[in-house]
Structure 1
Amino acid sequence: MSKGLIRSHTSFLTGRFNKQTNEDNGNEILKTAFVVGNGLRGKLGLGYQRHIREVLKHEEMPDNMIRLCCGEHHAVSLTSSLNVCTWGSNKEGQLGYDTSGSNEDVTFFDVMKDGKSEQPIQMAKSPKKPKPDPLLCELSAVVPSLIAKSVTNIAASNSSTFALTSDGFLYSWGSNEEGELALGDVQNTKIPSLVQFFEGTPIKDIIAGGHHVLAVVENGDLYSWGRNKEGQLCLTDLFSIKEKFSVPQEVITIQSICRGISLKKIVAGNNHSIALLSDGSVLVWGENTHGQLGLADNVNRHEAAQLKFEGQSIIDVNASHSASYVLTQSGFVYVFGKCDRGQLGIGKPDPEFLPHFKNQNRPTLLRVQPGVSRLFTSAMSDHVFLLTKDKRVFVFGDNEDKECCVKDEDIVWSPKELTNLKREDKRLLNIVTGQHCTFLFYD
């Protein structure tokens, strides 16, 4: 019997989402997936189809998927049977398995709910491509070494992948150039490796930026590792001169600010991070070149700074590649950061001022339909979706590959309502954004 990738082969999801991109949505089942955008290196999981210019139904999603997040050129998902599936580029080993034979005839294994594999099942061959590429997998496959590990959460940085188990153990694999795998070195690894630093200290949440990673442990303390050149690890000045850490560091400055107030949510952009506390306070740190910290300057922060929103109750935060978004209880959205590709949705500048219209370093109120209830974006993307309480969908940002689901514009400068996403008798439950691509999930 030939060895092969392990592949799941129906298309269901439940609504527990990666906290890096979305809020928990209970246990609603997402039966239908659609996709649009750039499929370079197979990151859409559609075989050898490269670019999808119009929203297309996705027939190749892993079965019973409950979570999805995107790296730069790869994607990772979690199924209800607690298996991890990956697809896309494997140049740095970020898929977690050998893809040297994935472009030839591959035997796939059916993974049952108990995590054990049955007899191999020969799936339909993918469309042929001229030159096989051993560094990618364009159809989703289960990560073999994580079967029966009871993975409950996943995250992806640019070219690295992370899996968190039910007992709080963390596995990492892929690119390790900045020490983002937390293995004590900077060597890439193709197989999921246990992060031994946290043995005895269970992790309850994992968040990944471009090349930095944040982890919240069981007692609420925060740890960080990876790239630190822009201050994204939120360490004290004593450590700020060190540009990378391959061993997790405790973020003491956050604890001193919180003083008993718990962390409600943390999100990461490419090189910056935002934390929402349980009392509605917002903390920011990391790169501020484009004003993405909203502190009215462009100075990087190696320690957390509090962002003030007088008279506003903040209920959610999110971050794209180099911009930030804050949602109030009243349904208003504040935006700040890089805006050269419409990332802030604040309108198209006069051509005369376009060269200077690149950054917004103060929180600016977004002009959009009142009653926004959810924000959808990620560290890999420059486009943003908004969902209102009355289920209307708006989008703005980079649309070079039609990732905004808008046909005739390369940049969507202001929030644009999308009516083409409505599906008969189906509710739009989740949107996951990647670099120049979008995944949409319905019930």
Structure 2
Amino acid sequence: MSDDSLDEWEIFQELSDELKRKIRLAVVYRGGAIYVTKDDEVFGFGKNLTGFLGTGDKQSRTEHTKIEQLCGQNIQDLQFAYLTFFAISATGSVYAWGKNDNGQLGLGTKKDTWIPTKIEGNLETKRVVQVACSDYHTLVLTSDREVFSFGWNKYGQLGLGHNEDQSLPKKLDFFAAGGVVTAVACLVFSSLALLDSGQVFVWGKNEDGILGHSEDDVEKQNIPRKVPGLEGITITRIVCGLNHALALSNDGKVYSWGWNGSGQLGNGTDENSHEPTLIFGIGGRIRDVASNYNYSVSVAITEADDVIIWGWLNGSQNKSPTKTSFKSLDEVFAKLPILAFTFRPLRLKLNDDPIVEKNTANESPEWLKKYFNDADTADIVFVVEGKKIYAHKTILLMRCAVFRTMFQGNWKESNESEQIIKHHSYDVFFAFLRYFYTNQVDMQPVLALELFALAHFYQMTDLQKESLKIIERGVTVENAASIYDRAILLAAEDLKEFVLNFCMEHMNAVVNSDGFKLLNSDVAKDFVLHAAQQGAFKK
């Protein structure tokens, strides 16, 4: 996403070019905006009727107001419903503010707070990677794929096997599901989860048939159960509106069910559906879908970059998929009258970030660079987060022993032309494959650690070295401990030594950081031992 994407949003159009170049993360909601700068300062401005700006009140701001509690925390994600708001730091800490009458902020009370407050309890030692919320309950997903829930639970929407509200995070038991959770989503009275097997699970109130059953057959359920009607289909992405769900399959098809009062199911009617139904008439394979708790519209973008909508949009009801002139999913939500909002955070590229590292000793020829992600000539497709990246087996196996074994051996991937990649982000896997064609790494420091781990798994020594250079530029007091932890896991001695040297220079700040507090005891002991050997604690 380029810096120009900010200008799609009216609230950002009056900002100076200098300020826009400094913004790396932003969200917009009901006439207000929050943004994070490359210096890790967080500001809010605009309308604030719902307390969205995290300033401790509901007064609108014409001046950009610093949100002190979030500054310096390396905020990587911002999520919101109508009256509940969350921020996730790079170390996986979660900050919550907003309405809390059901304990939906996870702070251990049922008292509203309009200032970002760190969630502790069972999440204090966890690294959260996703937050999904309604106005009444919240789900979080951790890096080790555990799911925690809190808030209102009248209909069992917390998935805990009972109907008691929870004001502190409680862990769900997904063992019966037989898989690893990769994503979660919230509706008004129910919840969904996507497993790495491609199965979708749902629980809570069967409002408008959202559980995938007739409401005459099932009223509610308080433990996760598989959505019927998706058997044999591998789902790669789930999104929710106010009370309808969309599921994107690995072959680019979209299924919908639930409330349909505005035609948001795209089935040609305004009748609710309790059964996931394939949406016809989209006109091509879908690579991404979007919807939101705040608006009754569904949006999809095809591989040809056609943006398709169905549901209620700008005073018009579309009961079937309709091609638009929009250029992106974000643009659809930016053009909503009065209620314009981001359905996901805007992640901006900065002039000095990402860092480009080039392996000049073996620079790729220009003709090879042109064939990266070329759908016309590719013979293998990688599907990551529901989006496709096109590549060539010959190029991959020539440069990587792991791919050579995979494609020429007896692995199940040997004869498959489409590979689904789990547990890695699209941006990182895109950069990983691009390196095979360009010998260049175009990467933000905060993502370079994931790229380093990917290069480690595929035994790409040169790429590990290039990633390491970027990681070293991105080490901070807050993330030093977590990078040290990962360095041990990957047996990356050079990285471990570099981080330890950094910590020696900032020891007091590092050991008092949230990142250090998240270390398990064995890693913390290893850190203290090596720091002591370096003389960190000598008087």
Tell me by how many angstroms 1:359 deviates: 2.5
What is the CA deviation profile of residues 43-98 of structure 1, one whole-angstrom value per residue up to 9, with x for unaligned ones? 32122243347876655535122222112211122211121211111111111114
Q: Does the 8 Å CA contact 1:164/1:171 hold for their aligned counterparts?
A: yes
What is the CA–CA distance in structure 1 between the aligned matches of 2:142 and 2:349, rounded to whole Å? 35
Question: What does residue 330 of structure 2 align with?
Answer: 375
Q: Does residue 397 of the first structure (1) align with residue 355 of the second (2)?
A: no
Q: Does residue 362 of the first structure (1) align with residue 294 of the second (2)?
A: no
* Secondary structure in structure 2 of the residue aligned to 1:252: coil
What is the CA–CA distance in structure 2 between the aligned matches of 1:426 and 1:49, rounded to whole Å? 36
Tell me by how many angstroms 1:338 deviates: 2.1
Amino acid in structure 2 at the alignment position of 1:166: S
Q: 2:161 aligns with which of 149, 163, 184?
A: 184
* Secondary structure in structure 2 of the residue aligned to 1:322: strand
What is the CA–CA distance in structure 1 between the aligned matches of 2:283 and 2:179, rounded to whole Å? 38
Question: What does residue 215 of structure 1 align with?
Answer: 193
**What percent identity do the matched residue pairs reach?**
28
Residues 285 and 423 (structure 1), Cα distance of their counterparts in 2 relative to 1, 3 Å cut:
closer
What is the CA–CA distance in structure 2 between the aligned matches of 1:241 and 1:55, rounded to whole Å? 52
Residues 252 and 423 (structure 1), Cα distance of their counterparts in 2 relative to 1, 3 Å cut:
closer
Residues 156 and 281 (structure 1), Cα distance of their counterparts in 2 relative to 1, 3 Å cut:
same
Question: What does residue 123 of structure 1 align with?
Answer: none
Q: 1:48 aligns with which of 49, 54, 57?
A: 57
Query: Which 5+ residue runs of structure 2 have no aligned equivalent?
Result: 1-21, 28-36, 343-347, 354-445, 447-539
Tell me by how many angstroms 1:225 deviates: 0.8
Question: What does residue 225 of structure 2 align with?
Answer: 249
* Secondary structure in structure 2 of the residue aligned to 1:399: coil
What is the CA deviation profile of residues 122-167 of structure 1, one whole-angstrom value per residue up to 9, with x for unaligned ones? xxxxxxxxxxxx7222221111111112323221122211122222
Give the alignment of 1:92-131 within 5 angstroms.
Answer: 92-98=102-108
* Coordinate RMSD, CA, aligned: 3.5
Question: What does residue 324 of structure 1 align with?
Answer: 298
What is the CA–CA distance in structure 2 between the aligned matches of 1:203 and 1:358, rounded to whole Å? 37
Question: What does residue 108 of structure 1 align with?
Answer: none
What is the CA–CA distance in structure 2 between the aligned matches of 1:192 and 1:13, rounded to whole Å? 32
Amino acid in structure 2 at the alignment position of 1:157: S
What is the CA deviation profile of residues 290-345 of structure 1, one whole-angstrom value per residue up to 9, with x for unaligned ones? 10011111111111111123642311111133111111222221111123xx2xxx
Q: Does residue 64 of the first structure (1) align with residue 59 of the second (2)?
A: no
Tell me by how many angstroms 1:277 deviates: 1.1
* Secondary structure in structure 1 of the residue aligned to 2:231: helix
Residues 92 and 264 (structure 1), Cα distance of their counterparts in 2 relative to 1, 3 Å cut:
same
Question: What does residue 315 of structure 1 align with?
Answer: 287
Q: 1:275 aligns with which of 209, 227, 247?
A: 247
What is the CA–CA distance in structure 1 between the aligned matches of 2:200 and 2:350, rounded to whole Å? 44
Q: Does the 8 Å CA contact 2:145/2:182 hold for their aligned counterparts?
A: yes
What is the CA–CA distance in structure 2 between the aligned matches of 1:90 and 1:281, rounded to whole Å? 38
Q: How many residues align?
A: 315
Tell me by how many angstroms 1:174 deviates: 0.8
Tell me by how many angstroms 1:218 deviates: 3.5
What is the CA–CA distance in structure 2 between the aligned matches of 1:13 and 1:423, rounded to whole Å? 8
What is the CA–CA distance in structure 2 between the aligned matches of 1:36 and 1:286, rounded to whole Å? 36
Question: What does residue 140 of structure 2 align with?
Answer: 163
What is the CA deviation profile of residues 214-263 of structure 1, one whole-angstrom value per residue up to 9, with x for unaligned ones? 1122433211012212122223x4x654332222111131124x1xxx32
* Secondary structure in structure 2 of the residue aligned to 1:323: strand
Residues 143 and 364 (structure 1), Cα distance of their counterparts in 2 relative to 1, 3 Å cut:
same
Residues 278 and 231 (structure 1), Cα distance of their counterparts in 2 relative to 1, 3 Å cut:
same
What is the CA–CA distance in structure 2 between the aligned matches of 1:225 and 1:336, rounded to whole Å? 26
Q: 1:291 aligns with which of 255, 263, 269?
A: 263
Question: What does residue 85 of structure 1 align with?
Answer: 95
Amino acid in structure 2 at the alignment position of 1:275: A
What is the CA deviation profile of residues 14-68 of structure 1, one whole-angstrom value per residue up to 9, with x for unaligned ones? 8799xxxxxxxxxx97846554555345332122243347876655535122222
Residues 174 and 318 (structure 1), Cα distance of their counterparts in 2 relative to 1, 3 Å cut:
same
Structure number with higher strand proportion:
1
Q: Does the 8 Å CA contact 1:46/1:58 hold for their aligned counterparts?
A: yes
Amino acid in structure 1 at the alignment position of 2:338: N
Q: Does residue 234 of the first structure (1) align with residue 212 of the second (2)?
A: yes
What is the CA–CA distance in structure 1 between the aligned matches of 2:338 and 2:74, rounded to whole Å? 30
| Structure-1-length-normalised TM-score | 0.63
Residues 77 and 375 (structure 1), Cα distance of their counterparts in 2 relative to 1, 3 Å cut:
same
Q: Does the 8 Å CA contact 1:13/1:79 hold for their aligned counterparts?
A: no
Q: Does the 8 Å CA contact 2:210/2:274 hold for their aligned counterparts?
A: yes
What is the CA–CA distance in structure 1 between the aligned matches of 2:26 and 2:228, rounded to whole Å? 30
Question: What does residue 432 of structure 2 align with?
Answer: none
What is the CA–CA distance in structure 2 between the aligned matches of 1:307 and 1:68, rounded to whole Å? 30
Question: What does residue 203 of structure 1 align with?
Answer: 181
Structure number with higher helix proportion:
2
Q: Does the 8 Å CA contact 1:229/1:242 hold for their aligned counterparts?
A: no
What is the CA–CA distance in structure 1 between the aligned matches of 2:47 and 2:191, rounded to whole Å? 26
| Structure-2-length-normalised TM-score | 0.52
* Secondary structure in structure 2 of the residue aligned to 1:362: strand
Residues 87 and 337 (structure 1), Cα distance of their counterparts in 2 relative to 1, 3 Å cut:
same
* Secondary structure in structure 2 of the residue aligned to 1:230: helix
* Secondary structure in structure 2 of the residue aligned to 1:72: coil
Q: Does the 8 Å CA contact 2:212/2:227 hold for their aligned counterparts?
A: yes
Amino acid in structure 1 at the alignment position of 2:183: D
Q: Does the 8 Å CA contact 1:41/1:136 hold for their aligned counterparts?
A: no
Amino acid in structure 2 at the alignment position of 1:253: G
Residues 220 and 173 (structure 1), Cα distance of their counterparts in 2 relative to 1, 3 Å cut:
same
Amino acid in structure 1 at the alignment position of 2:198: G
Larger Rg: 2
Question: What does residue 354 of structure 1 align with?
Answer: none
What is the CA–CA distance in structure 1 between the aligned matches of 2:325 and 2:284, rounded to whole Å? 17
What is the CA–CA distance in structure 1 between the aligned matches of 2:180 and 2:242, rounded to whole Å? 26
Question: What does residue 419 of structure 2 align with?
Answer: none
Amino acid in structure 2 at the alignment position of 1:396: K
